[in-house]
Amino acid sequence: MAIVQSAPAAAGDRRRLVLDSPVDRHRIDEVEVSTADDVAAAVARARAAQPAWAARPVAERAAILRSAIDVLVARRDEIIATVRAETGKPQTEALAVEIVPSCDFLAFWTHRAPRDLKPHRQPLHGYLKPTKKLFVHYQALGVVGVITPWNGPFVLSLNPVVQALLAGNTAVLKPSEVTPRSGEWAVKILHEAGVPADVVQVVHGDGETGAALVAAEIDKVCFTGSVGTGRKIAAACAERLLPCTLELGGKDAMIVCADADLDRAAAGAVYLSMFNTGQVCMSVERIYVVDSVADEFIRLVSKRAAEVTYGPGDTDMGPLFWDRQMDIVAKHVDDAKAKGADIVVGGAPAAGNGLYFQPTVVVDANHDMEIMTEETFGPIAAIMRVRDEEEAIRMANDSQYGLSGSVFTKDADKARRIAAQLHTGSVVHNDASVIYGVPEAPFGGRKNSGLGHVNGLDALRGFTHPLPILIDRWQPKQESIWYPYSDKTIRSLEMVIKHGFGNKLLRRLLS
């Protein structure tokens, strides 16, 4: 992402941030920081606009948002240019990571929302069934604060905002300070599609602005970012009993079984650990390969990694998006080398002025090394030999993170058996990372990787309060349990217990 520094300011001037390119460090932008008062004003406008937006039928809101697909398709070159200026991503990755899934999310959610958010009747069981009817309505929460990261700045801003708006909320977006214009595009295309200005707004700034948004009079926080910041947000939300969704860091494991297609597994290991320069929460960060096939797998991975092109221009891999990330990646590689790992490809920052790190393959890694335990977020394929699949499962579960994982095997049933034993948010067979692009999948982390889901039915409905409404079928003057109590009341309850629950056949019918 862009390199960010505070701009010198005279006394009384508004704080500003300057952005330099990660490709060659030339100045690309300057952003005015939104103050706490600015954030509060944006939230107040969103609060005022929310009832009218929520009053529109879901199908009407969906139709407006669906038209954003046409805007996105028409403006894609401008969006890509902004993303590439701030991150240095290759054209292919800007299209594949940002544009294609954004179009798909818009199409999917706008198609599903009228059905998934429609009030519906919920069947009842047991003794209440003859006398009551249950309906569930989905009420908007109000104003949602959305805070998004720098590694997928457009798509990771658009996806939660679209879900929040479809559910009848208004939204205030705070994109990362180092990819501010990329995130801002999500709001621009929605406005152009017809979403009213105050229904979705953007505020800019760093952690100070994000903290102001969390502290404002909002009704939910949706955050994607680091574990440390996520913990602070969770604590702030807990003080107010404010719901939050947190999609945090990952240290995703890839298991290579003895029967894997090694050509595919090697190609996947390189690509899935290095695309987007390894800066994907679901990147492959740990590879466990069964010892019987490890030599050949390492040979194939090393060959493919050595062929990855990087640097400015038309290459496979762009720069690290953030200057501070360079120090973390280099530190992890150096720590692994010092503790006995072998760096067989790459292993160092590339020469030049940009934030480029060589595609790197680390072998003979182990869990004494930071590269296997801490989130690296760089173009590193770190490989550890294991005795068998059982050891691979144990090592994969030996992590503070639990976002996603992958299993490479020709046996789909085996993949499911192994996946069922992994303590992670999701598992992919013979692939990885793509799970975020499957909106039907309830995507979310375990352990330090977060709370809640950012995709799946739970995610969309998570922007609502499911309101149960219990309707009386026959409207008698009063219920049998109401005052005054009598012997008849007790006999009626005893009959329910004895015959309704004491009789196995009736108990089954009432379940």
Residue 422 near residue 288, CB atoms below 8 Å: no
Does residue 205 register a pLDDT over 90?
A: yes
Is residue 237 flagged as an active site residue?
Answer: no
Q: Is 208 a catalytic residue?
A: no
Query: Helix or strand or coil: residue 81?
Result: helix
Report which DSSP code applies to 479.
-
* pLDDT tier at 109, thresholds 50, 70, 90: very high
pLDDT in tens, 234-255: 999 999 999 999 999 999 999 9
Q: Answer for the pair 399, 285: CB distance below 8 angstroms, yes or no.
A: no
Q: How far apart are CA 133 and CA 316, in angstroms?
A: 59
Does residue 9 surpass a pLDDT of 90? no
In the chain, what are the domain boundaries? 32-249+456-465, 252-442
CA distance linking residue 340 with residue 289, whole number of Å: 18
**Distance between CA atoms of residues 330 and 224, nearest Å:** 24
The closest alpha carbon to 156, from 183, 138, 136, belongs to 183
Write down the pLDDT at residue 7: 85
Q: Which of 98, 247, 374, 389 is catalytic?
A: 247
Does an H or E element contain 79, and which?
A: helix 68-87
- Residue 470, helix vs strand vs coil: strand
User: What are the CA-CA distances from residue 102 to residues 44, 96, 135, 160, 455 (Å)?
Assistant: 28, 10, 33, 11, 13
Report pLDDT digits (tens) over 286-339.
999 999 999 999 999 999 999 999 999 889 999 998 888 999 999 999 999 999
CA angle 474, 475, 476 (to 5 degrees): 100
pLDDT at 1 over 60: no
Residue range 176-189, pLDDT digits in tens: 999 999 999 999 99
Whole-prediction pTM value? Answer: 0.96
For range 133-151, the mean pLDDT: 97
- CATH 3.40.309.10 applies to domain 252-442: yes
Out of 103, 244, 257, 281, which one is annotated catalytic? 281
Rounded CA-CA distance 205/176 in Å is: 7
**CATH domain 32-249+456-465 topology:** Aldehyde Dehydrogenase; Chain A, domain 1 (3.40.605)
Distance of CA 324 to CAs 166, 251, 369, Å?
A: 37, 19, 20
C-alpha dist (Å) from residue 417 to 403, 420, 436: 18, 5, 22
